[in-house]
Amino acid sequence: MENVIELKDVGFSYRDSEGNLHPALSNINLSFEKGSYTAILGHNGSGKSTLAKLLNLVITSEDGKIDGSVKVFGKELNGQLTEDEEYEIRRRVGMVHQNPDDQIVATTVEEDVAFGPENLGVEPAEIRKTVDEAIAAVGMTGYEKFAPHRLSGGQKQRVAVAGVLAMHPECIIFDESTAMLDPEGREAVLKTIDELHRSGNVTVITITHYMNEATDADRVVVLNHGEVFMNGTPEEIFTQVDKLRSVSLGVPQVTELFYRLKKEGVYSGELPLHTKDGAAALSNLVKNKRG
């Protein structure tokens, strides 16, 4: 499978106003396959957002010192890029931020979603089609004329996602995009992420503090003090409970439950990651005890 992003021996240090460097990332070696879904975890200050911002040029060599090689769609970012090349990278790698108010710029939903295509010089007729498709993709059809400030947090975030989708990116980074949402809003955004992944056309990278959100990813990457601490499938990562605890991270609630049951000698099977699997395992456990 083709890699859309490749990082080799990547490090990054922020430069303060006096020119001093402060390390944020070091020795990062990762690749992201086309159409894959990766969840990035880590405590505050682990380098998650710095890594995300490197990938679509939110931060550049002007903000600090970049070491190693950062390639996005074959283009080396740690070098001299033309203005057109930077523009193209930002179009192909979209980002949805934690606070949707940081991305909403227009007075109606449809105008906001149209903002990106308009700046790309897309024909008006094509913009109308693109906007309608993007709004439908996030379940916001019927809200086209609504003012964004009248929407709930979850609805605003879906509009922000639609604005990114309208740019037809090949990779979307969700930078703690569900952190400020209530359960209903979080579920709506997660549904959109899942549908994007299932389409196979978009590479999805999500940064989250919620362990349950990472269980549906193809791969989980754990950062600690700016370095890759763990890298594997959700099953490989979340069944190493003690190792995650050593860097102040937890596991999905259902996994934690069966981890404790296992320590008490009550359960001996695999640790489930999803509630439905945990319910089935618990049912079997109860049946066996009764039998």
Residue among 5, 1, 81 nearest 40 (CA):
5
In a domain, 164, yes or no: yes
Question: Is residue 173 domain-shared with residue 263, that is, in the same domain?
Answer: no
Please state, in angstroms and as integers, the Cα–Cα distance from residue 22 to each residue in 17, 40, 54, 65, 135, following that order.
Answer: 11, 22, 16, 9, 41
Tokens 């894959």 belong to: 36
Overall pTM > 0.85: yes
120 phi, psi to nearest 5 deg: -85, -5
Question: Is residue 262 domain-shared with residue 142, that is, in the same domain?
Answer: no
In a domain, 25, yes or no: no
In this predicted structure, which of 20-34, 98-112, 182-196 has the lowest mean pLDDT?
182-196
In a domain, 21, yes or no: no
First to last CA, the chain: 49
CB neighbour list of residue 152: distance below 8 Å, 6 or more residues apart: 182, 185
pLDDT reading at 1 higher than 80? no
Question: Is residue 230 domain-shared with residue 138, that is, in the same domain?
Answer: yes
Sign, CA torsion 250/255/257/263: negative
What pLDDT is attached to residue 291?
Answer: 57
Residue among 212, 239, 104, 240 nearest 161 (CA):
104
Question: Is residue 280 domain-shared with residue 201, that is, in the same domain?
Answer: no
Question: Is residue 90 domain-shared with residue 211, that is, in the same domain?
Answer: yes
Question: Rounded distance, CA 172 to CA 86, Å?
Answer: 16
Average pLDDT over the chain, rounded to an integer: 91
Residue 201 — very low, low, confident or very high, per pLDDT cuts 50/70/90?
confident
Residue 91: count of CB within 10 angstroms of its CB? 16
Question: Is residue 175 domain-shared with residue 209, that is, in the same domain?
Answer: yes
In a domain, 71, yes or no: no
**3-state SS string over the chain?**
CCEEEEEEEEEEEEECCCCCEEEEEEEEEEEEECCCEEEEECCCCCCHHHHHHHHCCCCCCCCEEEEEEEEECCEECCCCCCHHHHHHHHHHEEEECCCHHHCCCCCCHHHHHHHHHHHCCCCHHHHHHHHHHHHHHCCCCCCCCCCHHHCCHHHHHHHHHHHHHCCCCCEEEEECCCCCCCHHHHHHHHHHHHHHHHHCCCEEEEECCCHHHHCCCCEEEEEECCEEEEEECHHHHHCCHHHHHCCCCCCCHHHHHHHHHHHCCCCCCCCCCCHHHHHHHHHHHHHHHHC
What pLDDT is attached to residue 128?
Answer: 92
Question: Is residue 179 domain-shared with residue 46, that is, in the same domain?
Answer: yes
Render pLDDT for 50-86 as a digit per residue (tens, 0 to 9): 999 999 898 888 899 999 999 999 999 887 788 889 8
In a domain, 220, yes or no: yes
Question: Is residue 51 domain-shared with residue 152, that is, in the same domain?
Answer: yes
In a domain, 177, yes or no: yes
Question: Is residue 123 domain-shared with residue 189, that is, in the same domain?
Answer: yes
In this predicted structure, which of 66-70, 98-102, 230-234 has the lowest mean pLDDT?
98-102
Question: Is residue 86 domain-shared with residue 229, that is, in the same domain?
Answer: yes
Question: Is residue 45 domain-shared with residue 185, that is, in the same domain?
Answer: yes
Range(s) of the domain holding residue 280:
252-291
Burial of 198 (0-12, 13-18, 19+ CB in 10 A): exposed
Q: Are 264 and 280 in contact (CB under 8 A)?
A: no
Render pLDDT for 143-181 as a digit per residue (tens, 0 to 9): 999 999 899 888 998 899 999 999 989 999 999 888 878
User: Which CATH number fits the domain that encloses residue 170?
Assistant: 3.40.50.300
Q: Which amino acid is at 29?
A: N
Work out how many domains the chain is built from and give that number: 2
In a domain, 246, yes or no: no
Question: Is residue 228 domain-shared with residue 283, that is, in the same domain?
Answer: no
Q: Are 61 and 12 in contact (CB under 8 A)?
A: no
In a domain, 28, yes or no: no
